[in-house]
Chains A and B, each alone.
Chain A
Amino acid sequence: MNTTTRRVAAGALALALMAAGCGRDAGTASEQARDVTTGSVTGEVTVWAMGEEGKALGAFVKDFEAANPGVRVNVTAIGWDVAHDKITAAIAGNATPDVSMIGSTWSGELAKTGALEPTPGNLVDKAAFFPGAWQTVDVNGTAYGVPWYVETRVLYYRTDQAAKAGVQPPKTWEELTAFARALKEKGGAEDGFQQSYTLGASWQEVLPLIWQAGGEIAEDGAYTFDTLEAVAALRQYETLFEQKLAPTDIPEGAFPQTFIKGEVGGFFSGPWMIGVLNNDGGPAFKDKFDVAPYPKGPVSATSFVGGADMAVFKQAKNRDAAWKFVQWLSEPEVQAKWYTTVKALPAVQEAWRQPELTADKQLAVFGEQLKDAKTPPPFPTWEQVAKVLEAELEKLARGRSTPEQTAKAIQAQADTIGTGL
């Protein structure tokens, strides 16, 4: 997947959309949600969903159709690479479906176009979801859509190397550095710890650290990167590189093979890596790695929460059935069944008490971590700012700038870009 080209294309399209969408009333914070009647619904509901989820959802909706005779759910699977462009184009051309899956950082941007309908107040109970998950649909106090599934980042480590080095998974930032050193010097992980520093994902390494230091990415409608907390986070990020405990000279794409071969002994990533490692590592690798919650920073052990939401468009031809379908997807039993279908983690807390999810010990680590996980602010410019972060983080990782300089540089560029709201 090529994130860079996708972002460039997305940027160009966003500009075009702004031009094409002039005169559309911008969604304001005071927008009122209308209640919805979901008693008995009929007719057709068109739904867009991305990637494997989209393919699987087509068959999954049979249960909903059986429970609601007269309703037909038409799912179109769309590729992740094109999803953002396709949705923004559909909005500009007034050719939206009734419901669409949206990326967890898109709600701000899409809500601003005025095309998304605020979530009806009588549809779901927001307390049922993980707070971080609900944050992904919340734009200045108004919810647009409902969280569908989530992912969060935890520590992956080689159990065999940790045992050899005689160390336990770290509980604090200081312990993490010691842990990485032990894996490298005694455990046999010659490159130490995998910490990403190139374009693509490095910002996701640093956001949790900022929250763990007690900082925020944005406050009072502005980005806040030049803070003491952010500098502390950047220093923690830099430490592993500076002490040669994290490599900056392995080619992109070498990971996760480097972890399977034992060249690096640990990394932070999301739940999909379990599948990747079990697949690429083969059956014998299963017992060689485990997961653990994030080590605690000065204030907390907050992780990053991502995933996807379900949004309903104002132009929906079948509003009641659309919202009822979204509501159905957030029922605990349905969420648990969806987990067994595509391994997508439930956004609804109650679903984690279903038998499908309580059996797996590694999964429980994610469930626990989700209670303390946050999402980037829902600003339309977030993707642009993330790009800035990645560029500056690479300089920091390569020792070409200090944490203080990095924080200032990010802040200056983020100020220029603005929040877009």
Chain B
Amino acid sequence: MSRTRRQHAVVHLGLAVGLALVAGPFLWTALSSLKPEREIRRDPPTFWPETWTLGNFVELFERVSIGTAFANSMLIALVLVATNLLFCSMVGYAFAKLSFRGKNVAFGLVLVQLAIPAIVVMMPQFVLIAKLGMVNTFIGIILPTVVTPLGVFMMRQFISDLPDELIDAARVDGAREFRIFFTIILPLCGPPLATLGLITFLGSWNNFLWPAVVAQSESVYTLPVALNILNGHETTHYNLLVAGSVVVIAPILLLFVFLQRFFIQGIATTGLK
């Protein structure tokens, strides 16, 4: 009994250290957002604010249209989550369970895309978007990532492991592909869909360069793009940046707290890191 208790104590101590390492910086950021700028830049730095203030947030909301940017970020992220869940699983299903000519080549191309850094294709992508007249629009920001190679790959891996008998049985009963996909495959894909949704949301929420290049007026700015205006050429207002970081991180944290069960499950079942 006492032995297990001691073991527990050791485990908890280890976990506490890990928690401090992981959560410490976030906590410090959150606390710093409540300090005046001079205290943030002081050396040695303070952890617990000496002077509490909401001034950073007030100034942030005065300087940047945070409300608009927040709404834009949310809209773009949610649309991308929806399109990725639908299209990635459809394409993944086709790669996993249907046989058609050129399937291996097509899947090879998907894998190749996984290896190409986004920055390399950014400029041609922008020229394309510009020629389509989509500069400075939400659709221009959204279009290039409505379906992503990573998502297709994830869904394909998961669906491959589903038994073929399910599909065969449905076919025998006269179900068409869409029916099979929506009523049999999709309901079984809960964990990878949750993971894909989270990854997509995070990716879109944190994405900076692409929206920054496509959005040409502040009404289309996303949160990271709007916050970047505060970054001076020679000087940086750390107080506004930490306050902005808190605004950016808070929704993500909430999302994580609610969905962490799915997230862990999803990673475990699809073998992805």
Query: Which residues of A approach B to under 8 Å, CB–CB?
Result: 1, 9, 12-13, 16-17, 19-20, 48, 50-52, 54-55, 74, 76-82, 85-86, 89-90, 92-95, 97, 103, 151, 254, 257-258, 261, 270, 272, 275-276, 279-280, 282
With A77-B218, A282-B38 as known contacts, state yes or no: A89 contacts B228, CB within 8 Å.
no
Whole-angstrom CA separation of A79 from B229 in the bound complex: 4
The reply to whether the CB of B233 lies closer than 8 angstroms to some CB of chain A is yes
* Contact residues in A for B235 (Cβ distance below 8 Å): 272, 275-276
Asked whether, in the complex, the Cβ of B119 is within 8 Å of the Cβ of A1, the reply is no
Q: Which of B87-95, B125-133, B155-163 lies on the face that meets chain A?
A: B125-133
A92 pairs with B127, CB closer than 8 A: yes
Asked if B229 and A51 make an inter-chain contact with CB atoms under 8 angstroms apart, the answer reads yes
Complex formed: what's the CA distance from A48 to B213 in Å? 12
28 cross-chain CB contacts under 8 A? A1-B232, A12-B119, A16-B122, A19-B124, A50-B233, A51-B230, A52-B230, A54-B229, A74-B217, A76-B217, A79-B229, A79-B230, A80-B233, A82-B208, A82-B225, A92-B130, A93-B126, A93-B130, A95-B130, A95-B135, A95-B136, A103-B233, A254-B43, A257-B42, A257-B43, A270-B234, A275-B235, A280-B38
In the complex the two chains form, is B231's CB within 8 Å of A79's CB? yes
Q: How far is the CB of B103 from chain A (nearest CB, A)?
A: 32
- B232 in contact with A51 (CB, 8 Å): yes
On chain B, the residues within 8 Å of A275 by CB distance are 235
Q: Of the candidates A90, A97, A280, which one forms a contact with B41 in the assembled complex, judged by CB atoms under 8 Å apart?
A: A280
- Considering the chains assembled together, what is the distance between the CA atoms of A400 and B120 in angstroms? 36
- Please give, as numbers and ranges, the residues of chain A lying within 8 Å of B123 by CB-CB distance: 13, 16-17, 19-20, 89, 92
Complex CA–CA separation, A151 to B235 (angstroms)? 13
Given A16-B124, A272-B234, CB of A93 within 8 Å of CB of B129: yes
Chain B residues with Cβ below 8 Å from A270 are 234
The 5 nearest A-B residue pairs measured at CB: A79-B228, A93-B130, A16-B123, A257-B43, A82-B212
Separation in Å of the B240 CB from the closest CB of chain A? 10
Known: A1-B236, A94-B130, A279-B38. A9 touches B229 (CB 8 A): no
User: In chain B between 191 and 220, which residues have their CB closer than 8 angstroms to a CB of chain A?
Assistant: 208-209, 212-213, 216-218
Q: Are A79 and B209 in contact (CB under 8 A)?
A: no
In the assembled complex, which residues on chain A have CB atoms less than 8 Å from the CB atom of B236? 1
**Interchain nearest-CB distance for A66 vs B (Å):** 22
Max count, chain B CB within 10 A of own CB: residue among A74, A86, A261:
A86
Contact partners of B225 in chain A: CB under 8 A:
79, 82
Closest residue of chain A to B41 (Cβ to Cβ) is A280
Q: How distant is A100 from chain B, measured CB to nearest CB, in Å?
A: 11
- What chain B residues lie within 8 Å of A151 (beta carbons)? 234
CA distance A377 to B235 in the complex (A): 24
Known A51-B229, A80-B231, A97-B216; judge A89-B38 contact (CB<8 A): no
Contact mask B80-121 → A, CB, 8 Å, 1/0? 000000000000000000000000000000000000000110
- Bound state CA distance, A176 and B100, in angstroms? 78
Please report which residues of chain B, range 63-80, place their CB below 8 angstroms from some CB of chain A when the two chains form the complex. Answer: 63
Chain A nearest CB: distance from B248 CB in Å?
14
Bound form: Cα–Cα A276–B234 in Å: 10
Select from chain A the residue with minimum beta-carbon distance to B236: A1
Which residues of chain B have C-beta atoms less than 8 A from A12's C-beta? 119-120
A85 CA to B37 CA, complexed, in Å? 30
A17 to B236, CA, bound (A): 29
A52 touches B232 (CB 8 A): yes
B120 touches A16 (CB 8 A): yes
Q: Determine the chain B residues whose CB is within 8 A of the CB of A276 once the complex forms.
A: 235
How distant is the Cα of A378 from the Cα of B172 in the complex, in angstroms?
73
Given contacts A80-B232, A92-B127, A95-B135, 12 further A-B contacts (CB under 8 A): A17-B123, A20-B123, A50-B233, A54-B229, A79-B230, A86-B212, A86-B213, A90-B213, A92-B130, A93-B127, A95-B130, A280-B42
Bound-state CA distance A276–B233 (Å) is 13
* Nearest chain B residue, comparing its CB with the CB of A96: B216
Docked-complex contact A78 and B229, CB < 8 angstroms: yes
Is the Cβ of A1 less than 8 Å from the Cβ of B231?
Answer: yes
Residues of B within 8 A of A272 (CB): 232, 234-235
**A257–B41 contact, CB under 8 A?**
yes
Chain B residues whose CB sits within 8 angstroms of the CB of A94 once the complex forms: 130
B-side contacts of A282, CB under 8 Å: 38
Which residues of chain B are near A280, meaning CB under 8 Å? 38, 41-42
Closest chain-B Cβ to A251's Cβ sits at a distance in Å of 10
- From the candidates A1, A74, A257, name the one contacting B233 in the complex (CB within 8 A): A1
Are B234 and A9 touching (Cβ within 8 A)? Answer: no
